[in-house]
Amino acid sequence: MAKKELSIEEMSIHQDAKAMLAKAKNDGIETAWDRLQQQTPHCTFGESGVCCRICVMGPCRISKKSPLGVCGADADVIVARNFGRFVTGGAAGHSDHGRDCIEALEAVVEKETDDYTIADPEKLLRIAAELGIASEGRDVMEVGKELVDIFFSDFASRKQELAFLCRVPEKRKAIWDKLGITPRGVDREIAEMMHRTHMGCDNDAANTMLHSARTCLADGWGGSMIATEISDILFGTPTPQPSKVNLGVLKEDQVNILVHGHNPIVSEKILEAVNDPELIALAKEKGAAGINLAGLCCTGNELMMRKGVPMAGNHLMTELAIVTGAVELIVVDYQCIMPSLVQIGNCYHTKMITTADKARFTGADHYKFTMQNGREQAQNVVKLAIEGFSRRNPDRVDIPGEPVDILTGFSNEAIINALGGSLTPLIDAIKAGKIRGIVGIVGCNNPKFKQDHCNVTLAQELIKKDILVLATGCVTTALGKVGLLMPDGADQAGEGMQEICGSLGIPPVLHVGSCVDNARILQACALIADELGVDISDLPVGASSPEWYSEKAAAIGTYAVASGIYTHLGLPPNILGSEVVTNLAVEGLEKLVGASFAVEPDPVKAAVLLDTRIQQKREGLGLT
Ligand code: SF4
Ligand code: MSK
């Protein structure tokens, strides 16, 4: 039986979303919420993870009546294999993004491009020093070449461990060594997972789950961390700066271009092009007042963190942004881009432009960006948007609401800077109980939840309990839209947080970046643990992804847990068909890696779980 149809009120907490959901209905546009309705109820075999499709003796699905697949695999083996491949998809996504960043840095240091340069040479030298590369008296490009080699070799096979494991506290590394999950080459762990989950290989659920952890650690401390650090080197390390969020950032009288995806390599060039005086003049010739660039999802986060570019919306706002009728062009790189954007764009005048050969969409125009043609392609793409302005139908335009102010750009460097040069004031505030702990809220939207209800409620509940929130990914937009990314958002926090935020002039929720930037949170935890001489699992910290949907989010959760961070999920992965795997995820991992998953759809209850954990850890450190 299909689920009862949701009212618009039940779909989202945001006024801009609700206005566009109503407009979509009027305009006859189908959205993710409608398609979820059509897909409901979901297949219970798929949902519980007991459907196996990895060979053609099957597909097999496990039930009471048929408890074994044709080969004899049981539910535990099948669920663990499916979960392993699921998180490996996420680790591969982040890490391949990281590899693209290495290739970009390589092109710069080898002087194979005039279109890109190094924006933060100090950071390059700092990381080189961390990884043991001598730089005194040397040209930064030469040092960069060695850095590129180290990063490339992190993807290979002939290594015992990843380069950035130098950031991992010794106690944590000892745990990984003992369990045999120290991440080696990124590609090696990914390939090994595919091998292990081939028919007839790893048929021990717990063993497969341990390799899932290893693969995800290679993502967090490898692929993602490399992507973050190189993006800072190439485009600048984020510093606090103002920006704006919600669909109100679109401008009725201007050419509107949205950038969507994850990797800033394309969007940084689009940003340059929209500021080109010749292109602005061309837009004016065509009757527009200017060219307006705004972000979606994590490409939006990347540009917002570094350049203050406004954010139009998160995952579930991407379709609704087109429904405004005011968007000429959506330029995408990769990940989290719904194919429906092409179909919805066709119902208005919105064109979708793909830029990466690995992420093409039928019906979209393809403008391949390379390190050599980035500037020229960005100009071409912006010209296309300007042409599109004349096709806009003003009668179909409706831009809802006023944008909300936010403060963005809290990289670890910026946080340390705001604290006066070291983490000591933060640690002192934690010791004094003014900040009782830290939780990273990360990830997505999922139409199975009222959009952003859980993301926002959880953050509000945590800051009330004097728990500092670090936000990445699509959660950021949600929290920004309700005012939590501004210093006066601290009015909603407990007394301790109010005092700290007031004295530092910071919001109660710090925006630390995109999905790959969760690596910044790993590094921050490691720095705090080292400062206190403890393991990450001893810290009063937690992570949460209340409305997650993607393989990448599951990979992030898995590397957080394997790094010793208790992690809440708003809904379970597709593992409930196996008691062994489920128990391992929510209990067994605690004994092995000192942290586990907790699943709780209610954000108020989730805040209590995270708070309880934080209190236990505080007491473990001798704090009240
Ligand atoms: Fe079925 Fe086994 Fe093949 Fe999976 S590997 S499809 S359980 S026979
Ligand atoms: S874009 S993975 S919906 S956060 Fe990074 Fe947003 Fe989640 Fe994609």
**φ/ψ (deg, to 5) at 147:** -65, -45
Q: What are the angstrom distances between the C-alpha of 61 and each of 86, 218, 464?
A: 17, 31, 46
Residues in contact with ligand 2 by the CB-under-6-Å rule are 262, 297-298, 314-315, 336, 443-444, 473-474, 514-515, 550, 552-553
Mutation test residue for ligand 2: of 311, 444, 516, 558, the one with most atoms within 8 Å of CB: 444
Residue 420 CB burial class (10 angstroms; 0-12, 13-18, ≥19): exposed
Of 446, 261, 267, the closest CA to residue 358 belongs to: 261
Question: SS3 for 569?
Answer: strand
Determine the Cα–Cα distance for residues 197 and 132; give it in Å rounded to an integer: 37
Tell me which residue has its CA closest to atom 3 in ligand 1.
55
CA distances from 413 to 238, 420, 515, 620 (A): 8, 11, 18, 28
Q: Is the pTM of this model over 0.95?
A: yes
Match 């602005």 to its residue by tokens: 280
CA gap 613, 589 in Å, rounded: 15
pLDDT, position 1: 47
Q: Quote the tokens at residue 532.
A: 């206190």
Q: Which ligand is nearest to the CA of 224?
A: 2
The CA 90 to ligand 1 mean position distance, Å, reads 23
Contacts 24+ apart (CB under 8 A), 23-28: 23/323, 23/324, 23/398, 24/319, 24/320, 24/323, 27/323, 27/347, 27/396, 28/347
Residue from 262, 474, 545, 548 whose mutation best tests the ligand 2 pocket (most atoms within 8 A of CB): 474
Which pLDDT belongs to residue 4?
73
Identify the residue whose C-alpha is closest to ligand 1 atom 7: 69
Residue 557: phi and psi, rounded to 5, are -60, -40
Query: For position 157, what pLDDT does the model report?
Result: 85
d(CA 399, CA 520) in angstroms, rounded, equals: 35
Q: How far is CA 443 from the centre of its chain?
A: 5
Question: For a substitution probing ligand 1, which of 71, 78, 201 has the most ligand atoms within 8 Å of its CB?
Answer: 71
Ranges of beta strands (E only) in 419-473 are: 437-441, 467-472
Which strand (E) or helix (H) includes residue 148?
helix 140-153
Angstrom distance (rounded) from CA 250 to CA 360: 26
CA nearest to 310, candidates 323, 324, 331, 295: 295
Give the residue among 362, 380, 373, 368 at the shortest CA–CA distance from 333: 368
- What's the average pLDDT block by block, 10 residues per block, for the chain (624 residues)? 79 98 98 97 97 98 97 98 98 98 98 98 98 96 98 91 97 98 97 98 98 98 98 98 98 98 98 98 98 98 98 98 98 98 98 98 98 98 98 97 97 94 95 98 97 98 98 98 98 97 96 98 98 97 98 98 98 98 97 98 98 98 94
Which atom of ligand 2 approaches the CA of 473 most closely?
4
Instruction: Name the nearest CA neighbour of 458 among 401, 505, 508.
Output: 508
Beta-bridge partners for 241: 408
Per the document, the length of the chain is 624
3-state secondary structure of 247: helix
User: Residue with the nearest Cα to atom 4 of ligand 1?
Assistant: 52
Residue 337 burial (C-beta neighbours within 10 Å; 0-12, 13-18, 19+): buried
Distance 545 CA to ligand 2 centre (A): 11
The finding on whether 194 has its CB within 6 A of some atom of ligand 1 is: no
Do the beta carbons of residue 9 and residue 33 sit within 8 Å?
no
Q: Within its chain, how far is the Cα of 273 from the centroid?
A: 26
CB contact set of 602 (below 8 Å; sequence gap of 6+): none
- 542 to 13, 171, 324, 423: CA distances (angstroms): 25, 18, 37, 18
Separation between Cα atoms, residue 384 and residue 279, nearest integer Å: 11
Query: Which sign does the torsion angle of CA 267, 272, 278, 281 carry?
Result: positive
pLDDT for residue 3: 60
Helix 224-235 × helix 297-307 angle, to 10°:
40
Backbone angles phi, psi at 60, to 5 degrees: -120, 145
- State both tokens at 157: 């096979």
For residue 168, which phi and psi values (nearest 5 degrees)?
-85, 130
> 58 in ligand 1 pocket by Cβ < 6 Å?
yes
* Residue 204 pLDDT: 98
Would you say the C-alpha torsion 31, 32, 33, 35 has a positive or negative sign?
A: positive
Rounded distance from Cα 502 to ligand 2 centre (Å): 31
How far, in Å, CA of 310 to CA of 463, rounded? 25
Q: How far is the CA of 195 from the centre of ligand 1 (A)?
A: 15
Angle in degrees, 0-180, between the axes of helices 518-532 and 170-179, rounded to the nearest 10: 110
Closest-CA residue to 340 (of 32, 551, 104): 32
Edge-to-edge strand ranges of the sheet holding 365-366: 365-366, 351-354, 329-332, 255-260, 291-296, 311-313, 241-245, 404-408
Kindly state the helix (H) or strand (E) to which residue 344 belongs, with its residue range.
helix 340-347
Residue 66 burial (10 A CB sphere; 0-12, 13-18, 19+)? exposed
* CA pair distance 594, 606, nearest whole angstrom: 19
Residue nearest to atom 8 of ligand 2 (CA): 336
Q: What is the pLDDT of residue 491?
A: 97
Q: Which helix (H) or strand (E) holds 293?
A: strand 291-296
Compute the distance from residue 553 Cα to the ligand 2 centre, in Å: 8
Could you give the residue ranges of the DSSP H alpha helices within 505-578? Answer: 518-532, 551-562
d(CA 518, CA 560): 9
3-state DSSP assignment of residue 56: coil
Separation CA 227–CA 552 (nearest Å)? 14
> Distance from the CA of 61 to the center of ligand 1, in angstroms?
9
Query: Counting atoms of ligand 1 from 1, which one is nearest the CA of 55?
Result: 3
Q: What is the dihedral of CA 602, 606, 608, 613, to 10 degrees?
A: 160
Rounded to the nearest angstrom, the distance between the alpha carbon of 48 and the centre of ligand 1 is: 16
Write out the H or E segment, with its range, that includes residue 241. Answer: strand 241-245
469 SS3 class: strand
Atom number of ligand 1 nearest to Cα 59: 6
Q: Report the DSSP beta bridge partners of residue 116.
A: none
**Token digits of residue 227:** 């992507």
